[in-house]
Amino acid sequence: MLKTFEELEVYKRGVVFRIEISQFCKLLPKEETYRMKDQMLRASRSITANIAEGFGRHHHQENSQFCRQARGSLSEMLDHLGCARDEGFLSEDRYVELRKCIEEVWKLLNGYIAYLQKCAMSGVPKKNSLLS
């Protein structure tokens, strides 16, 4: 049984992606600090924050909703990466690498959402060791 959200593979992969984005943002020009940089940092952090918050709700349906919000932030990041590439801040090769990271997190997130929905439909109680 999972004790914390930090044990979820989707969370771990989300952290890796968040760090990659943070490193990229350090390379953006100063004039992008309050534009692209701020937007990208917020969206990438939202992914893992929503996974964590959903886990803490201790209810499958609520957890699923927060995971769908995380998925929305992944879509937002895909748009930001496209903008960064189009503006010349991101090479095509690096864009492809980061897009693969998004796709990996997306697949894991979809699997986790499907699992949560299956548990909710079958009435499986969700117990977290943090509360035990």
In this structure, how many other beta carbons lie within 10 angstroms of the beta carbon of residue 103? 12
Whether residue 92 lies inside any domain: the answer is yes
Whether residue 97 lies inside any domain: the answer is yes
Whether residue 22 lies inside any domain: the answer is yes
Q: How many helices (H) and strands (E) does the chain have?
A: 4, 0
Whether residue 127 lies inside any domain: the answer is no
Whether residue 79 lies inside any domain: the answer is yes
Whether residue 28 lies inside any domain: the answer is yes
The count of domains in the chain is 1
Task: Assign residue 97 the CATH number of its domain.
Answer: 1.20.1440.60
- The pLDDT assigned to 131 comes to 39
Domain that holds residue 87: 5-122
Q: pLDDT tens for the chain, 132 residues: list them.
A: 788 999 999 999 999 999 999 999 999 999 999 999 999 999 999 999 999 999 998 899 999 999 999 999 999 999 999 999 999 999 999 999 999 999 999 999 999 999 999 998 887 665 544 433
